[in-house]
Amino acid sequence: MTNEFVIMTHALSKSYDKNLAVRELDLSVKLNRITAFLGRNGAGKSTTIKMLLGMIRPTSGSGAVLGGDITDTAANRNVRRRVAYVPEDKPLYGYMTVEQIIRFAKSFYPDWRADVENKLLHEYDLPIERKVKTLSKGMRTKLALLLAFARRPDLLILDEPSEGLDPVGIEHLLRSLATRAADGVSIFFSSHQIAEVERVADHVCILEKGRLLLDQSFDELRQSYRRIDLVFDSAAPEHEFRFSGVQRIELHGHHLTVLVQSNAEAVVERARSLKALSVEVSPVALRDIFLETVQEDQRALV
Amino acid sequence: MGMFLKPAPNTGQPLYLQLMQQIRHAAETGALRDGDQLPSIRALADELVISPNTVVKAYSELAHERLLELRHGAGAFLCVKHRTRSLADRVQASRRRIHALIAQLREEGLFDEEIRRAFEAEMACPAETVRGR
């Protein structure tokens, strides 16, 4: 295990009765990166995160967070001090006021950042005298985020942090992720909202039905994923384009659509040598990459 | 409102390249002058809501091209000497040629979207941005 990775899993699996929630997951999350953990609802994201934090035991496989074995209780206790975690359901002490809960949390962490606390209190516009149980869902989320961001963790793990936030709240959240990353905090956060993550994240992992379908840097994705539309004057020679990196070929008579994960140049070159009437290359939005990847997976299972 | 725009996530171009282009553009237009200090990594990441790693990559690539000078502990400074002058001229000249070409293609009846895709197709190979000094 090297220090280059803050999270590493090997063949990590979890089943409930006969249902496989997470299957043979090999995850490696790099230090000092913002990594987005994308997947549809029920894809296994929360289960994975809970295993990483030692909250549930894996059925098989292994994993380490900040170098500590996730199934070793002592290592886990030690690691939890260096990890800030915001769970999906944001459980907070309802009988405390916002001010009390902040004071309470602060007492556990000697390196609490008052500057971050004040900035976020102001930015999130939290009512400090209100009791937590009377807060709206969005307010609770903001409070949970404040409690995590004001610590000085090595790793921040957020499970669906944008849940319940309005667009302004989401922008504040993403901005907080960017500034915390600039402070040297590694960030791993799950989401099912693609549009939210793609500007701020460095790396994306896509989980579907408990399996990892994509694990790539956003820059690589942007640079290599292309849709290529080709028109020929006779029936399009579909079989000529089965290069490695080609994810899907769709044929409509004279018109061929090729979706590539990489190797766009080879497709374009081949099309030219086959005298295509028209060659058009366009970038593919992450949203479409996500849908393609998930659908491709479903086709493969049929 | 700062001088840089939030990079567009879905143009098929890495965000750090988009940021590099914006900085180059600011240098070419004179919005940034020799010796001007750029925002800190943290400030720019915060402003544009992008990963600080994107800013680091853009700054270090531009430092490699010698458009920026990274001074330890002090930040990034624009360094427009004779070299970038000639680069700016080259970029200006290429703009004029592209402008003329596009005007001609429009004259010949092509739609903007068709022209854009034709450019995209020609540039499909992920070109390195390294250039000769």
pLDDT digits (tens, 9 = 90+) for B14-34: 999 999 999 998 888 888 888
A269 at interface of B, judged by CB pairs closer than 8 A: no
Q: How far apart are CA A230 and CA A278, in angstroms?
A: 6
Q: How far apart are CA A279 and CA A242, in angstroms?
A: 17
**Which chain A residues contact residue B120 at CB under 8 A?**
280-283
> To the nearest whole number, what is the mean pLDDT of chain B?
84
pLDDT band at B83 (very low <50, low <70, confident <90, very high): low
B2 at interface of A, judged by CB pairs closer than 8 A: no
**CB contact (8 A) between residue A283 and residue B11:** yes
A276 at interface of B, judged by CB pairs closer than 8 A: no
Residue A294: name the closest of A215, A192, A213, A189 by CA: A213
**Which chain A residues contact residue B53 at CB under 8 A?**
32-34, 181, 202
Does residue B103 register a pLDDT over 70?
yes
In this predicted model, which residue has the larger pLDDT, B133 or B62?
B62
A188 at interface of B, judged by CB pairs closer than 8 A: no
pLDDT at residue A158, as a whole number = 94
Out of B7, B45, B120, whose CB is closest to A281?
B120
A32 at interface of B, judged by CB pairs closer than 8 A: yes
Q: Are strands A278-283 and A60-65 parallel, antiparallel or unpaired?
A: unpaired
**CB contact (8 A) between residue B45 and residue A264:** no
**Residue A138, helix vs strand vs coil:** helix
Tokens of A39: 């997947």
**Which chain B residues contact residue A199 at CB under 8 A?**
6-7, 9, 15, 49-50
From first to last of its 302 residues, what are the pLDDT tens digits of chain A?
Answer: 457 999 999 999 999 988 889 999 999 999 999 999 999 888 999 999 999 999 999 999 999 999 999 999 888 888 888 999 998 877 778 889 999 999 998 998 888 999 999 988 998 889 999 999 898 888 888 899 999 999 989 999 999 998 888 888 899 899 999 999 999 999 999 998 887 788 899 999 999 999 998 899 999 888 889 999 999 998 888 888 888 889 889 998 899 999 998 888 899 999 989 999 988 888 888 888 888 888 777 776 55
**Which chain A residues contact residue B7 at CB under 8 A?**
199
Residue A292: name the closest of A194, A191, A201, A160 by CA: A194
Amino acid at site B39: P
pLDDT band at B129 (very low <50, low <70, confident <90, very high): very low
Question: Looking at chain A, which residue has its C-alpha nearest residue B50?
Answer: A200
**Which chain B residues contact residue A34 at CB under 8 A?**
51, 53
Q: What is the DSSP letter of A240?
A: G
pLDDT at residue B131, as a whole number = 45
pLDDT at residue B82, as a whole number = 55
pLDDT at residue A228, as a whole number = 92
**CB contact (8 A) between residue B124 and residue A264:** yes
**CB contact (8 A) between residue A199 and residue B12:** no
Out of A33, A268, A286, whose CB is closest to B53?
A33
